[in-house]
Structure 1
Amino acid sequence: MSKRKGQLFVVSGPSGAGKSTIIERFLKEDGNAVFSVSCTTRKKRENEVEGKDYHFTDESTFKRMIDADGFLEWENVHGYLYGTPADQISKPLAEGLDVVLDIDVKGALKVHEKCPRACLIFLEPPSVEELVRRLSLRGEKEIEKRMERVREEMAKKGLFTYTVKNDKVDVAYCEFQSIIEKVRGQAHGKDHC
């Protein structure tokens, strides 16, 4: 019997949809998945931890990584660069671990172009009103600018393999977990890309 190959799961959706909540719970309960920590050029927020939430770097270092083909995907978001380091994907997948990405919609679609077997999961907020409320509670600034991006991202949810509506977090989590198990069953022994 062949060694299990890892599966790439790309979770995306509007800021405030609950991606971090769902992913953190999943990773805590699952023993066969790891989180890919993205790189960014934006400043670290007070509650963020280097290497856990993001790898914080300067623009020149980020651009050198781009030139060295060090990212699976990268994007300019609100004036800051964000990217998925390629080595954080290839190594765990080769070891038989599943890899979970939390990236924006454009990045998710770029990953899918390079890795067609990646499972794309769109996490949808219950409503635009609830999303505005969540963003306000988080202290987000420029909510109108973010809402423009939300509308753009919501328009692309049909391009994802699965959509999970996060109306109630426990229900959304169970649906998310079911998708993971279904895809794992289908992907046994197949290459991730």
Structure 2
Amino acid sequence: MYHSIAATGNSLNVPIEQFEEEISYLKSHHYYFLSPHEAYAVLKTNKKPRKNIVWITLDDGYKNNFDALKNLYKNYHAKATVFDIINGQNGASFLSTYQLKHLKNSHIAIQNHTFHHMDLDKMTEQKQSSEMITGKDNLDTLLHQNTIAVAYPAGHYNQFTPRLAAKSGHKLAVTTNEGLAHKDTGLLSLNRVRVNKGISLEEFGQIIING
């Protein structure tokens, strides 16, 4: 799990040099990079396209993601998924609609991070549904796709959220709970591995394997 790909910024940023080194590490260790649909298939059937698999996700849709991702498939044959804050589109710090379309055409999946990026666990069920449905509908229309995955903002959700995510048309939902994704945790409350700034490639390799 990544957020901002930049040398400076908030505590969640990772420099682009580190990001590219980590992608190169995964490629050299023969990892297969999953799309959301492929991740869903693996989790449902337990059948993997390759022994080593990874689902690269980036939350929020920061504008600096564009430079990090636009040539990812061309250079590494790697796919990734951006969970986009819908209300942030075209803002100064976030990806534009043009960039989102360009990334989609470059094997980067664009998925739902809700409309306003507000804490779902503090909302009524109706409001939670509205945030997820509005986000999904926007992406479906903009990118001519069926959006199947949602990332809960800041990882906050409650006992109602997974059911509401499914009802709003999502097959997968990711949290910020630390660990490897596994169907036993529920396809609508999947763990992820956070990648922090400054870790070594050895440390990176360990968290990819062990969570």
Is TM (by shorter chain) over 0.5?
no
Q: Which of the two has greater strand per residue?
A: 1
TM-score normalized by structure 1? 0.33
